[in-house]
A = this chain, B = another copy of it.
Amino acid sequence: MTTLSIFPVTGIPELSEGDDLAGMILDGVELEEGDVVVVAQKAISKIEGRVVHLDGIEPSDQAREIAAADDGDARRIEVILREAKRIVRLRPPLIICETQQGFICASAGVDASNAPAPGMLVLLPVDSDASAARLRDELRDRGGVEVGVIVTDSFGRPWRRGTTDVAIGAAGVIVIQDLQGEHDPIGYELHATMIAVADEIAGAAQLVSGKLGRVPVTIVRGLDVRGEGRATDISVPPELDLFR
């Protein structure tokens, strides 16, 4: 019987720029070949120094205008606009943006919750696939074990309430499982069956890590999803997108 198990890596403290996350993971868990190491984006952002303080941010006119519609902080809006390639939908306080990496999400991923201190904002990693690959490489080189890494964030989605955790960075894993050309048992060709397994893994890990538990790293064990996908491959190319 195939059993998938998901468990947290305990003992990882509050993280700061330059912290050795790979070392903490290797200290906290006996990794096995083929494990998927799921890391919350905030952990990556903090060790990479992707944190800004609102003090010293000079809002643009556009940021002031958006903020005024909802009595918001124009400096926070300014940070969001700098992280965004463009605004997809605006209904203050909700600003849905396309990030520089091409992910579409609220506030371009800029978030004040679980920031290091009040007045600080955590930004998404500059290149979250590269962040995942670096961690994968370190775990291989120092731990001697070949694992996959997925970096996750909580994204809302159209039509359905609530957030689910999705993959914004990946290394060493399949991100989209393509069943194109495979057949179901009566021979019907599953011609459009692409499963976003990296997003399902991200969501599964969130069930364990929770939002307030401060458990930034979760292990998913028992899947065979070794591959070389990147989370940016999950984004729908603009020309095919019906919802931009």
Interface residues, chain A, CB within 8 Å of chain B? 1-8, 10, 14, 89, 91, 94, 96, 103-104, 112-118, 154, 157-166, 176-177, 179, 182-188, 190, 193-197, 199-201, 203-204, 206-208, 211-212, 214, 223, 233-236, 241-244
> Which B residues are CB-close (under 8 A) to A212?
179, 182-185, 190
Q: In whole angstroms, what is the CA distance A199 to B104 when docked?
A: 19
Decide yes or no: A179 and B211 within 8 Å by CB, A161-B236, A234-B162 being known contacts: yes
Min CB–CB distance A231 → chain B (angstroms)? 10
User: Could you list 28 A-B pairs, sorted by A, with CB under 8 Å?
Assistant: A1-B8, A1-B10, A2-B8, A2-B208, A3-B5, A4-B6, A4-B208, A5-B5, A91-B242, A94-B242, A104-B159, A113-B190, A114-B186, A116-B186, A158-B241, A158-B243, A159-B235, A160-B199, A160-B234, A160-B235, A161-B234, A161-B236, A162-B197, A164-B164, A164-B196, A183-B212, A193-B211, A203-B204
**Which residues of chain B come closer than 8 Å to A112, judged between CB atoms?**
188
